[in-house]
Structure 1
Amino acid sequence: MNPLPEDSWNAWSPDELHAHLGHWRSEWYVVGGWALDLWHGHQTRAHEDIEFAVLPAGIDGCRKILSQLDFFEVSDGKLTYRASNAALPVDLWQLWGADMTAGFWRVDMMIERGTPEVWAYKRDHSIRMPRAAAVRSNKLGTPYLAPANVLLFKAKHRREKDERDFEAALPKLSSQEKLDLRLWLEALHPKHEWIARL
């Protein structure tokens, strides 16, 4: 099966994603810019996609629940179809879910390497914390990654939207969140401009 064009996104909203996964008895949570907006309690900017994370053990269950979508592995800039009954690579990090009938990508599934009890940072597994501290929920029960953790991901590339997300989040971060993010940046990106502002 050939993938859709990479820019053919008409992503679900967090509420739509929650409607599909809200009763699933496994770990999942919204990440990226939408996670920050769930924390803010309102949408601060447009989002071209929606990213959420699951643990490796949850991939098959998640794809089963989202059976109306066809999933494609994202690796090295290529999109490769992965049938629902096919074995997945052990080094799988990301899957895009496509609604082939409508002709749109709907979700971006990220694979996290922690455990049900411990959240682990994808790019450096030495950065870990209790999952109960890393994953929060909004008033509707939609789980999302905590803001300092989201900003850690965004710090690497510092795209325009990442800078805007940092600016919007900075006044609301708690003292502990600022400390955590500063320590993480000092360890991974010691010359990062955000450090002095935290």
Structure 2
Amino acid sequence: MRSIVAPYGRWEPATPAQVASLLSALPCRWWVAGGYAIELAAGRRLRDHGDIDVMLLRPDQIHLHGVLRGWEHWAADPPGVLRPWEPAETLPQAVHDVWCRPGPDEPWRIQIMLDETRDGDWLSRRDPGIRRPLPEIGEISPEGVPYLAPEIQLFYKAKQPRPKDETDFAAVLPFLTQVQRRWLNEALAHSFGTHPWRDQLAC
């Protein structure tokens, strides 16, 4: 397993299969997100990963301590300072990320990303005008791992695409259905107006 040094300690990201095992007792929906979600959609490994993201709806944060019992949970307070998150605390709206590790001397294994929900829909935390019914925001891999729909993950990657985001977009584009392409194209138009990915989505 590859170890990656981060400002607050080293990362050894869990695999999607390990995440599925660790979170199997969660009584709520969750989805592998980030670059691993793109790989699950493409059906192959694309690149190295510094961490693994798991999306959880904000109201469901109350279940995390009980499932990852004994783990450390650190909240990323804006502008990105990590601090311990205790079980009795409800994280404020400004906190979107939680780093998790089995103990103080262990590497970080999972990053939880809290997203918003309202009236049975998922809402983008970056643009509340972008929303989808909850049953439509995820898919299941052949191995049974739930992951964020690739068009939604690409929407999050589109704000300021890095080289790895361009790699992910190019790799998963052939696997997007016309419905997925149209949704992403319209979401990009709504949030950004022009965007370099839109021309490729229209092909």
User: What TM-score results when the alignment is normalised by the length of structure 2?
Assistant: 0.89
Give 1:111's match in structure 2, choosing from 86, 107, 114: 114
In the alignment, does 2:84 pair up with 1:84?
A: no
In the alignment, does 2:158 pair up with 1:163?
A: no
Does the 8 Å contact 2:72/2:102 carry over to 1?
yes
2:63 alignment partner AA: G
In the alignment, does 2:104 pair up with 1:96?
A: no
User: Which consecutive residues of structure 1, in runs of 5 or more, have no partner in the other structure?
Assistant: none
Aligned Cα root-mean-square deviation (Å): 1.8
**CA offsets 1:69-127 (integer angstroms, 9 cap, x no match):** 21111121211111223443343311111233543111111111114832221211111
Task: State the distance in 1 between where 2:83 and 2:113 align.
Answer: 15
Structure 2 counterpart SS, 1:144: strand
In the alignment, does 2:50 pair up with 1:48?
A: yes
Provide the residue aligned with 1:13 in structure 2.
15
1:52 alignment partner AA: V
Distance 1:114 1:87, change over 3 A: closer
Provide the residue aligned with 1:191 in structure 2.
194
**CA offsets 1:128-180 (integer angstroms, 9 cap, x no match):** 11111111111222111111111000001201100000110111211111111
Structure 2 counterpart SS, 1:54: strand
Provide the residue aligned with 1:179 in structure 2.
182
Distance 1:149 1:44, change over 3 A: same
Distance 1:68 1:12, change over 3 A: farther
Range with bigger deviation, 131-140 or 87-96: 87-96
User: Which consecutive residues of structure 2, in runs of 5 or more, have no partner in the other structure?
Assistant: 1-5
**CA offsets 1:26-85 (integer angstroms, 9 cap, x no match):** 111111111111112222211111101112221121121112321111121211111223
Q: How many corresponding residue pairs?
A: 195
Structure 1 counterpart SS, 2:132: strand
Structure 1 counterpart SS, 2:196: coil
In the alignment, does 2:123 pair up with 1:120?
A: yes
Task: State the distance in 1 between where 2:123 and 2:192 align.
Answer: 18
Structure 1 counterpart SS, 2:31: strand
1:71 alignment partner AA: H
Aligned identity (percent) is: 29
